[in-house]
Amino acid sequence: MTHPIQREHLVVIGNGMAGCRAVEEILARDPAQYRVTIFGAEPRVNYNRIMLSPLLAGEKSFDDIVINDQAWYDDNAIDLVAGDAVVSIDRAAKTVTARSGRVTLYDKLLIATGSDPFIIPVPGKDLPGVVTFRDMDDVDAMLKAADGGGDAVVIGGGLLGLEAAHGLSLRGMKVTVIHLMPTLMERQLDEAAGWLLKSALEGRGQTILTGADTAEIFGEGKVEGIRLKDGREIPASLVVMAVGIRPSTGLGREAGLAAGRGLHVDDHMVTSDPDILAVGECVEHQGQVYGLVAPLWEMCRALADGLTQRHTGYTGSVTSTKLKVSGIDVFSAGDFSGGEGAEDIVLRDASRGIYKRVIVKDDRIVGAVLYGDTADGNWYFDLLKKQEDIADLRDSLIFGQAFAQGGGALDPNSAVAALSADAEICGCNGVTKGKVVSTIEAGACTLDAVRATCKASASCGSCTGLVETLLAITLGDDYAGERETKTMCKCTSFSHEDVRALILEKQLKAIPQVMQELHWTTPDGCSSCRPALNYYLLCAWPGEHEEDPQSRFVNERMHANIQKDGTYSVVPRMWGGVTNPRELRAIADVVEKYEAPLVKVTGGQRLDIFGIKKEDLPAVWADLNAAGMVSGHAYGKALRTVKTCVGSDWCRFGTQDSTGLGIQAERMTWGSWMPHKFKIAVSGCPRNCAEATIKDFGVICVDSGYELHIGGNGGIKLRGTDLLCKVETEQEALDYCAAFIQLYREEARYLDRTAPWIERVGLDYVKARIVDDATGREALRQRFLFSQSFSQIDPWAERAAGAEKELHQHIAEIRPFAVMETA
Amino acid sequence: MEPEWLDIGPVSQLPTLGARTLPVRGGAEIAIFRTAHGSVHALVNSCPHKQGPLSQGIVHDTSVTCPLHNWRISLLTGQALGEDKGCVPVIPVKIDSGRILIGRAEALAGLGAVAA
Could you tell me where the beta strands, DSSP code E, fall in A692-738? Answer: 697-702, 705-710, 722-727
At residue A785, the pLDDT reads 96
Residues constituting chain B: 116
Asked, for residue A611, whether it belongs to a domain, the answer is: yes
A548 in Cβ contact with A381 (< 8 Å): no
CATH number of A394's domain: 3.30.390.30
Residue A651 marked in a binding site: yes
Q: Which of B11, B16, B22, B37 to mutate to test the interface with A (most CBs of A within 10 A)?
A: B37
Q: Which residues of B touch A818 (CB under 8 A)?
A: 104-105, 108
- Specify whether A475 is located in the same domain as A530: yes
Per-residue HEC secondary structure of A74-131 comes to HHCCCEEEECCCEEEEECCCCEEEECCCCEEECCEEEECCCEEECCCCCCCCCCCCEE
Q: Please say if the pLDDT value at position A674 is more than 70.
A: yes
Is residue A468 within 8 angstroms of chain B, CB to CB?
no
Cross-chain Cβ contact A813/B24 below 8 Å: yes
Q: CB–CB of A198/A211 below 8 Å?
A: no
A689 among annotated binding-site residues: yes
In a domain? residue A124: no
pLDDT at A478 over 80: no
Residues A236 and A94 in one domain: no
Q: Is residue A122 part of a domain?
A: no
pLDDT tens column, A44-86: 888 888 788 888 888 788 888 888 889 899 999 999 999 899 9
| Spatial distance between the Cα atoms of A758 and A744, rounded to a whole number of angstroms | 9
CB distance A196 to A186 below 8 Å: no
Do A333 and A377 contact (CB within 8 A), yes or no? yes
DSSP A508: -
The closest alpha carbon to A741, from A700, A693, A782, A797, belongs to: A782
Question: Which of A633, A654, A687 is the last residue in one of the domains?
Answer: A633
Give the whole-angstrom CA distance, residue A701 versus residue A686.
Answer: 7
Give me the pLDDT at residue A403, please. 67
Cβ atoms of A730 and A749 within 8 Å: the answer is: no
For strand B63-65 and strand B18-23, is the pairing parallel, antiparallel, or unpaired? unpaired
The predicted-structure confidence for A676-686, as pLDDT tens digits, reads as follows 999 999 999 99
Q: Give the CA radius of gyration of chain A.
A: 34
Contacts of A763 (CB under 8 A, 6+ apart): A711, A722, A724
> Binning pLDDT at 50, 70 and 90, where does residue A232 land?
very high
Query: By the CB < 8 Å criterion, does A484 face chain B?
Result: no
**ipTM value for the complex:** 0.87
What one-character DSSP code corresponds to residue B64? E
Tell whether A342 and A291 lie within a shared domain: no
Averaged pLDDT, A124-143: 91
Distance CA A565, CA A551 (A): 23
The reply to whether A183 touches chain B by the CB within 8 Å rule is yes
- Provide the CA A252 distance to its chain's centre, in angstroms: 40
Q: What is the pLDDT of residues A273-327, one digit of tens each?
A: 999 999 999 999 988 888 777 788 788 888 888 887 766 678 777 777 777 676 6
* Confidence tier at A611 by pLDDT (50, 70, 90): very high
**Nearest CB partner across the interface for A811, out of B17, B20, B62:** B20
CA separation for the pair B30, B16 (Å, rounded)? 17
Q: In chain A, how many domains are there?
A: 6
pLDDT confidence of residue A383: 85
Q: Do A153 and A177 reside in the same domain of the chain?
A: yes
B89–chain A nearest CA distance, Å: 16
Q: Which of A125-129, A483-487, A633-637, A765-769 has the lowest mean pLDDT?
A: A483-487
- Per the CB < 8 Å rule, is A550 touching B18? yes
* Beta-bridge partners for A11: A37, A109
Mean pLDDT of B2-19: 87
In percent, how much of chain A has pLDDT > 90? 50
List Cβ<8 Å contacts ≥24 apart for A760-765.
A761/A460, A761/A461, A763/A711, A763/A722, A763/A724, A765/A459, A765/A460
In sequence order, what DSSP letters do the residues of A354-423 get, joined into one string? EEEEEEEETTEEEEEEEES--TTHHHHHHHHHHT---TTTHHHHTT-HHHHTS-PPP-TTHHHHTS-TTS
Q: What is the CATH number of the domain that holds A579?
A: 3.90.480.10
**A382 has which bridge partners?**
none
Whether residue A685 is contained in a domain is answered as yes
Whole-angstrom distance, CA of residue B99 vs CA of residue A247: 18
Q: How many CB pairs under 8 A join A and B?
A: 135
**Does B20 contact A551 at a Cβ distance shorter than 8 Å?**
no
Q: How far apart are CA A132 and CA A179, in angstroms?
A: 15
Would the CB atoms of A180 and B12 count as touching at under 8 Å? yes
Task: Please indicate, yes or no, whether residues A597 and A576 belong to a single structural domain of this protein.
Answer: yes
CA B43 to each of CA A340, A731, B32, B96: distance values in angstroms, whole numbers, following the listed order? 15, 54, 7, 19
The one-letter amino acid code at A407 reads G
Put simply, the answer to whether B38 touches A186 (Cβ < 8 Å) is yes
Question: Do A647 and A769 have their domain in common?
Answer: yes
| Structure confidence at residue A408 (pLDDT) | 38
In a domain, A811, yes or no: no
- Test the A interface: residue of B21, B47, B49, B60 with most A CBs within 10 Å: B60
Q: Is A725 annotated as a binding residue?
A: no
Of B15, B39, B104, the CB nearest to A550: B15
> How large a percentage of chain A has pLDDT more than 70?
93
Give the minimum alpha-carbon distance from A615 to chain B in angstroms, rounded to a whole number: 11
CA–CA separation, B63 and B79 (whole Å): 10
Q: Examine the domain organization and report whether A628 and A659 are in the same domain.
A: no
Average pLDDT estimate for A327-336: 78
Query: Is residue A3 in a domain?
Result: no
Q: b vs e for A336-356, b when ≥16 Cβ sit within 10 Å of the residue's Cβ?
A: bbbbeebebbbbbbbeebbbb
CATH number of the domain that residue A660 is part of: 3.30.413.10
In a domain, A532, yes or no: yes
- Residue A223 — very low, low, confident or very high, per pLDDT cuts 50/70/90? very high
**Calpha distance A25→A30 (Å, rounded):** 9
- Which segments of A454-591 are extended strands (E)? 561-562, 568-570
- Supply the CATH number for residue A170's domain: 3.50.50.60
Q: In this predicted model, what pLDDT tens digit does every residue of A711-761 receive, in sequence order? A: 999 877 889 999 999 999 999 999 999 999 999 999 999 999 999 999 989
Domain boundary among A350, A383, A404: A404
* Same domain (yes/no): A673, A785: yes
Per-residue pLDDT averaged across A149-160, rounded? 90
Shared domain for A300 and A221, answered yes or no, is no
Which chain A residue's Cα is nearest to B13?
A: A811
Last residue of a domain, one of A353, A374, A404: A404
3-state secondary structure of A30: coil
Taking 50 as the threshold, does the pLDDT of residue A407 lie above it?
no
Smallest CA–CA distance, residue A119 to chain B, in Å, is: 14
Structural domains of chain B ordered from first start: 5-115 (2.102.10.10)
For A408-419, letters b (16+ CB in 10 Å) and e give eeeeeeebbeeb
Kindly indicate the confidence band of residue A480, based on its pLDDT and cuts at 50, 70 and 90: low
Is the CB of B56 less than 8 angstroms away from the CB of A557?
yes
- Residue A439 belongs to what domain range? 414-546
- What are the pLDDT digits (tens) for A416-451? 776 777 777 776 667 788 889 988 888 787 787 787
Tell me, rounded to whole angstroms, the distance of Cα A408 from its chain centroid: 33
Q: What per-residue string of b and e applies to A793-802 under the rule 16 or more CB within 10 Å gives b?
A: ebbbeebbee
How many Cβ atoms sit within 10 Å of the Cβ of residue A716?
5
Which residues touch B115 (CB under 8 Å, ≥6 apart)?
A: B26, B27, B28
Kindly report the CA angle at A457 between A453 and A460, in degrees rounded to 5?
A: 135
Say whether A701 counts as a known binding-site residue. no
CB contact under 8 A, A806 and B15: yes
What whole-number distance in Å separates Cα of residue A535 and Cα of residue A527? 13
Q: How confident is the model at residue B109 (pLDDT cuts 50, 70, 90)?
A: low
Do residues A289 and A338 share a domain?
A: no
Contact A553 B16 (CB under 8 A): no
Phi, psi of A81 (to 5 degrees): -110, 90
Both A702 and A738 in a single domain?
yes
Identity of the residue numbered A33? Q
Residue type, A809: Q
What is the four-CA torsion angle of A351, A352, A355, A360, rounded to 10 degrees? -100
Instruction: Provide the phi-psi class of A577: left if phi over 0, else alpha when psi is between -120 and 50, else beta.
Output: left
Please give the Cα distance from A126 to A264 (Å, whole number): 32
CA distance A97 to A48: 26
Residue B26 and residue A819: Cβ atoms within 8 Å?
A: yes
| Residues of chain B found within 8 Å of residue A822, distances taken between Cβ atoms | 108
Establish if A797 belongs to a structural domain.
Answer: no
Q: Please tell me whether residues A334 and A376 are part of one structural domain.
A: yes
Angstrom distance (rounded) from CA A151 to CA A174: 5
Verify whether the Cβ–Cβ distance A337 to B39 is below 8 Å: yes
Q: For residue A558, give the chain B residue with the closest CA.
A: B56
B83 backbone φψ class: left, alpha, beta (φ>0; ψ -120 to 50): alpha
A531 interface with B at CB cutoff 8 Å: yes
SS3 label, residue A290: coil
Residues of B in contact with A344 (CB under 8 A): 61
